[in-house]
Amino acid sequence: MGLVDDYAKHRILAVQDFTLLSTRTLQSLFRSPRYITDIIQQMDFIGFGSLPIVVLTGFFTGAVLALQMAKTLATFGETSLTGQLVMLSLVRELGPVLTSLMVAGRNSSGMASELGSMVVSEQIEAMRALGTDPVKKLVAPRLIATVIMLPMLTVISDFIGLFGGFATSFFVIRLNPNQYWYSAYQALEYEDIFQGLLKPFVFAFIVALVGCYYGLRTTGGTQGVGKSTTQAVVAASVLILICDFFITKLLLWMLG
Protein backbone atom coordinates (compact mmCIF):
# COMPACT_ATOMS: atom_id res chain seq x y z
CA MET A 1 0.00 0.00 0.00
CA GLY A 2 2.80 2.37 0.94
CA LEU A 3 4.48 1.70 -2.38
CA VAL A 4 1.36 2.52 -4.35
CA ASP A 5 0.84 5.69 -2.33
CA ASP A 6 4.42 6.73 -2.94
CA TYR A 7 4.09 6.07 -6.64
CA ALA A 8 0.87 8.05 -6.87
CA LYS A 9 2.39 10.89 -4.90
CA HIS A 10 5.41 11.02 -7.20
CA ARG A 11 3.21 11.09 -10.29
CA ILE A 12 1.06 13.87 -8.92
CA LEU A 13 4.11 15.89 -7.90
CA ALA A 14 5.58 15.38 -11.36
CA VAL A 15 2.39 16.60 -13.01
CA GLN A 16 2.40 19.59 -10.70
CA ASP A 17 6.04 20.40 -11.54
CA PHE A 18 5.36 20.01 -15.23
CA THR A 19 2.37 22.33 -15.06
CA LEU A 20 4.45 24.84 -13.16
CA LEU A 21 7.20 24.76 -15.76
CA SER A 22 4.66 25.14 -18.56
CA THR A 23 3.01 28.09 -16.88
CA ARG A 24 6.31 29.78 -16.20
CA THR A 25 7.40 29.26 -19.78
CA LEU A 26 4.18 30.70 -21.16
CA GLN A 27 4.39 33.66 -18.80
CA SER A 28 7.98 34.30 -19.78
CA LEU A 29 6.92 34.66 -23.43
CA PHE A 30 5.35 37.98 -22.54
CA ARG A 31 8.31 39.43 -20.67
CA SER A 32 11.46 41.01 -22.07
CA PRO A 33 14.28 40.31 -22.72
CA ARG A 34 13.49 38.07 -25.66
CA TYR A 35 16.33 35.90 -26.79
CA ILE A 36 15.78 36.19 -30.54
CA THR A 37 19.14 34.72 -31.54
CA ASP A 38 18.47 31.70 -29.36
CA ILE A 39 15.10 31.22 -31.01
CA ILE A 40 16.63 31.39 -34.49
CA GLN A 41 19.40 29.01 -33.51
CA GLN A 42 16.86 26.53 -32.17
CA MET A 43 14.68 26.90 -35.25
CA ASP A 44 17.67 26.03 -37.37
CA PHE A 45 18.54 23.08 -35.18
CA ILE A 46 15.02 21.72 -34.74
CA GLY A 47 13.60 22.61 -38.15
CA PHE A 48 16.45 22.34 -40.59
CA GLY A 49 18.22 19.66 -38.61
CA SER A 50 15.17 17.38 -38.57
CA LEU A 51 14.56 17.75 -42.29
CA PRO A 52 16.43 14.62 -43.43
CA ILE A 53 14.63 12.23 -41.10
CA VAL A 54 11.29 13.90 -41.74
CA VAL A 55 11.74 13.65 -45.50
CA LEU A 56 12.77 10.02 -45.29
CA THR A 57 9.94 8.96 -42.98
CA GLY A 58 7.46 10.95 -45.04
CA PHE A 59 8.50 9.38 -48.30
CA PHE A 60 8.47 5.80 -47.13
CA THR A 61 5.26 6.21 -45.16
CA GLY A 62 3.52 7.47 -48.28
CA ALA A 63 5.09 4.72 -50.33
CA VAL A 64 4.04 1.90 -48.05
CA LEU A 65 0.57 3.38 -47.59
CA ALA A 66 0.02 3.31 -51.34
CA LEU A 67 1.22 -0.25 -51.44
CA GLN A 68 -1.17 -1.40 -48.72
CA MET A 69 -4.13 0.66 -49.88
CA ALA A 70 -3.79 -0.48 -53.47
CA LYS A 71 -3.79 -4.10 -52.37
CA THR A 72 -6.93 -3.67 -50.27
CA LEU A 73 -8.63 -1.56 -52.90
CA ALA A 74 -7.81 -4.08 -55.59
CA THR A 75 -10.18 -6.55 -53.96
CA PHE A 76 -12.99 -4.05 -54.66
CA GLY A 77 -11.56 -3.11 -58.02
CA GLU A 78 -11.14 0.49 -56.84
CA THR A 79 -7.37 1.05 -57.09
CA SER A 80 -8.11 4.46 -58.57
CA LEU A 81 -8.92 5.69 -55.06
CA THR A 82 -5.36 5.05 -53.85
CA GLY A 83 -4.42 8.73 -54.09
CA GLN A 84 -7.37 9.76 -51.99
CA LEU A 85 -6.64 7.30 -49.22
CA VAL A 86 -2.95 8.11 -49.11
CA MET A 87 -3.73 11.80 -48.98
CA LEU A 88 -6.27 11.56 -46.17
CA SER A 89 -4.29 9.19 -43.98
CA LEU A 90 -1.20 11.31 -44.39
CA VAL A 91 -2.72 14.69 -43.80
CA ARG A 92 -4.99 13.70 -40.94
CA GLU A 93 -2.92 11.16 -39.06
CA LEU A 94 0.36 9.79 -40.21
CA GLY A 95 2.00 13.04 -41.27
CA PRO A 96 1.44 14.84 -37.95
CA VAL A 97 1.96 11.82 -35.71
CA LEU A 98 5.00 10.31 -37.37
CA THR A 99 6.70 13.65 -37.87
CA SER A 100 6.10 14.57 -34.24
CA LEU A 101 7.34 11.19 -33.06
CA MET A 102 10.51 11.54 -35.13
CA VAL A 103 11.07 15.09 -33.89
CA ALA A 104 10.40 13.94 -30.33
CA GLY A 105 12.96 11.18 -30.73
CA ARG A 106 15.49 13.63 -32.02
CA ASN A 107 14.75 16.84 -30.16
CA SER A 108 13.04 15.95 -26.88
CA SER A 109 16.03 13.75 -26.22
CA GLY A 110 18.40 16.46 -27.38
CA MET A 111 16.81 19.04 -25.11
CA ALA A 112 16.71 16.68 -22.14
CA SER A 113 20.37 15.75 -22.51
CA GLU A 114 21.54 19.29 -23.19
CA LEU A 115 19.68 20.85 -20.27
CA GLY A 116 20.44 17.79 -18.13
CA SER A 117 24.18 18.19 -18.57
CA MET A 118 23.82 21.88 -17.83
CA VAL A 119 22.08 20.97 -14.57
CA VAL A 120 24.69 18.47 -13.43
CA SER A 121 27.60 20.75 -14.33
CA GLU A 122 25.96 23.59 -12.35
CA GLN A 123 25.59 25.72 -15.49
CA ILE A 124 21.91 26.32 -14.76
CA GLU A 125 22.77 27.59 -11.30
CA ALA A 126 25.56 29.72 -12.76
CA MET A 127 23.03 31.17 -15.16
CA ARG A 128 20.70 32.09 -12.31
CA ALA A 129 23.65 33.51 -10.38
CA LEU A 130 24.41 35.76 -13.36
CA GLY A 131 20.84 37.03 -13.43
CA THR A 132 19.31 35.04 -16.28
CA ASP A 133 16.10 33.07 -15.91
CA PRO A 134 16.86 29.61 -17.34
CA VAL A 135 13.20 29.11 -18.23
CA LYS A 136 13.26 32.23 -20.34
CA LYS A 137 16.70 31.72 -21.83
CA LEU A 138 16.53 27.98 -22.47
CA VAL A 139 12.96 26.65 -22.37
CA ALA A 140 11.05 29.47 -24.07
CA PRO A 141 13.24 29.61 -27.23
CA ARG A 142 12.97 25.84 -27.61
CA LEU A 143 9.21 25.98 -27.23
CA ILE A 144 8.77 28.83 -29.70
CA ALA A 145 11.09 27.22 -32.23
CA THR A 146 9.30 23.88 -32.00
CA VAL A 147 5.84 25.44 -32.27
CA ILE A 148 6.91 27.24 -35.44
CA MET A 149 8.87 24.43 -37.05
CA LEU A 150 6.83 21.31 -36.29
CA PRO A 151 3.76 22.31 -38.36
CA MET A 152 6.09 23.27 -41.21
CA LEU A 153 7.91 19.97 -41.01
CA THR A 154 4.55 18.21 -41.02
CA VAL A 155 3.48 19.99 -44.20
CA ILE A 156 6.76 19.01 -45.84
CA SER A 157 6.36 15.46 -44.66
CA ASP A 158 2.80 15.33 -46.07
CA PHE A 159 4.02 16.52 -49.46
CA ILE A 160 6.91 14.13 -49.61
CA GLY A 161 4.61 11.33 -48.47
CA LEU A 162 2.27 12.12 -51.31
CA PHE A 163 5.21 11.79 -53.69
CA GLY A 164 6.16 8.54 -52.04
CA GLY A 165 2.66 7.26 -52.63
CA PHE A 166 2.83 8.47 -56.19
CA ALA A 167 6.15 6.72 -56.72
CA THR A 168 4.76 3.34 -55.69
CA SER A 169 1.47 3.72 -57.49
CA PHE A 170 3.26 4.74 -60.67
CA PHE A 171 6.28 2.45 -60.69
CA VAL A 172 4.97 -0.55 -58.76
CA ILE A 173 1.20 -0.60 -59.11
CA ARG A 174 1.26 1.06 -62.52
CA LEU A 175 -1.64 3.39 -61.89
CA ASN A 176 -2.42 6.28 -64.16
CA PRO A 177 -0.55 9.30 -62.65
CA ASN A 178 -3.35 11.72 -63.40
CA GLN A 179 -5.80 9.53 -61.59
CA TYR A 180 -3.59 9.40 -58.50
CA TRP A 181 -3.14 13.15 -58.26
CA TYR A 182 -6.75 13.90 -59.16
CA SER A 183 -8.24 11.65 -56.50
CA ALA A 184 -5.76 12.90 -53.94
CA TYR A 185 -6.53 16.52 -54.70
CA GLN A 186 -10.28 15.94 -54.76
CA ALA A 187 -10.29 14.25 -51.37
CA LEU A 188 -8.68 17.09 -49.44
CA GLU A 189 -10.97 19.42 -47.50
CA TYR A 190 -10.31 22.37 -45.25
CA GLU A 191 -11.21 20.34 -42.18
CA ASP A 192 -8.45 17.91 -42.97
CA ILE A 193 -5.91 20.66 -43.33
CA PHE A 194 -7.10 22.21 -40.09
CA GLN A 195 -6.79 18.89 -38.30
CA GLY A 196 -3.42 18.24 -39.91
CA LEU A 197 -2.03 21.54 -38.65
CA LEU A 198 -3.68 21.62 -35.25
CA LYS A 199 -2.07 18.34 -34.26
CA PRO A 200 1.57 19.27 -34.82
CA PHE A 201 0.87 22.60 -33.14
CA VAL A 202 -0.28 20.81 -29.98
CA PHE A 203 2.41 18.11 -30.24
CA ALA A 204 5.08 20.83 -30.44
CA PHE A 205 4.22 21.81 -26.87
CA ILE A 206 4.65 18.21 -25.78
CA VAL A 207 7.98 17.77 -27.61
CA ALA A 208 9.55 20.94 -26.22
CA LEU A 209 8.09 21.06 -22.72
CA VAL A 210 8.56 17.37 -21.94
CA GLY A 211 12.14 17.48 -23.22
CA CYS A 212 12.99 20.54 -21.16
CA TYR A 213 11.11 19.29 -18.11
CA TYR A 214 13.07 16.04 -17.93
CA GLY A 215 16.30 17.90 -18.65
CA LEU A 216 15.79 20.43 -15.87
CA ARG A 217 14.87 17.86 -13.24
CA THR A 218 17.96 15.75 -13.90
CA THR A 219 19.81 14.58 -10.81
CA GLY A 220 22.69 12.22 -10.28
CA GLY A 221 25.48 13.11 -12.67
CA THR A 222 26.04 11.82 -16.18
CA GLN A 223 24.08 8.67 -15.46
CA GLY A 224 21.13 10.88 -14.56
CA VAL A 225 21.44 12.65 -17.92
CA GLY A 226 21.10 9.33 -19.76
CA LYS A 227 18.04 8.47 -17.70
CA SER A 228 16.35 11.83 -18.31
CA THR A 229 16.99 11.51 -22.03
CA THR A 230 15.31 8.13 -22.24
CA GLN A 231 12.41 9.20 -20.06
CA ALA A 232 11.88 12.32 -22.15
CA VAL A 233 11.56 10.38 -25.41
CA VAL A 234 9.26 7.77 -23.91
CA ALA A 235 7.03 10.31 -22.18
CA ALA A 236 6.85 12.61 -25.20
CA SER A 237 6.02 9.76 -27.59
CA VAL A 238 3.34 8.28 -25.37
CA LEU A 239 1.80 11.69 -24.70
CA ILE A 240 1.73 12.46 -28.43
CA LEU A 241 -0.15 9.23 -29.17
CA ILE A 242 -2.61 9.76 -26.33
CA CYS A 243 -3.22 13.38 -27.29
CA ASP A 244 -3.67 12.35 -30.90
CA PHE A 245 -6.58 10.15 -29.93
CA PHE A 246 -8.31 12.85 -27.93
CA ILE A 247 -7.76 15.58 -30.50
CA THR A 248 -9.18 13.33 -33.21
CA LYS A 249 -12.17 12.43 -31.07
CA LEU A 250 -12.78 16.08 -30.22
CA LEU A 251 -12.53 17.19 -33.82
CA LEU A 252 -14.83 14.44 -35.04
CA TRP A 253 -17.34 15.54 -32.44
CA MET A 254 -17.00 19.23 -33.24
CA LEU A 255 -16.82 19.06 -37.02
CA GLY A 256 -19.36 16.25 -37.23
Partner 1 sequence: MNVGAPEPVIQFENVTLSFGDKPALENISFSLDRGETMILLGATGSGKSVLLKLAMGLLAPDSGKIFVLGQDISHMRDLDLFAVRQKIGMVFQEGALFDSLKVGENVGYVFERMPEVNAAEAERRVLEALRFVGLEHTVGLFPSELSGGMRRRVAIARAIVAQPELMLYDSPTAGLDPITAKRIMTLIVKQRDLRQVSSLLVTHRVQDAWKLALSYYDPQQDKLVTMSRNGDSKTSFLVLREGEIAFVGSLSELAGHTDSYVKKFVT
Q: Which residues bind partner 1 (CB under 8 A)?
A: 33, 118, 121-123, 125-133
Residue 88: name the closest of 177, 161, 156 by CA: 161
Nearer to partner 1, 96 or 215 (CB): 215
CA angle (13, 16, 20) in 5-degree steps: 140
Q: How far is the CB of 201 from partner 1 (least distance, A)?
A: 28
- Pairwise CA distance, residues 155 & 198, whole Å: 12
By the 8 A CB rule, do 202 and 102 touch?
A: no
- Pairwise CA distance, residues 256 & 250, whole Å: 10
Nearer to partner 1, 135 or 209 (CB): 135
Q: How far is the CB of 78 from partner 1 (least distance, A)?
A: 55
By the 8 A CB rule, do 100 and 217 touch?
A: no
Q: How far is the CB of 227 from partner 1 (least distance, A)?
A: 18
- Pairwise CA distance, residues 173 & 195, whole Å: 30
Nearer to partner 1, 45 or 182 (CB): 45
Q: How far is the CB of 27 from partner 1 (least distance, A)?
A: 11
Nearer to partner 1, 3 or 130 (CB): 130
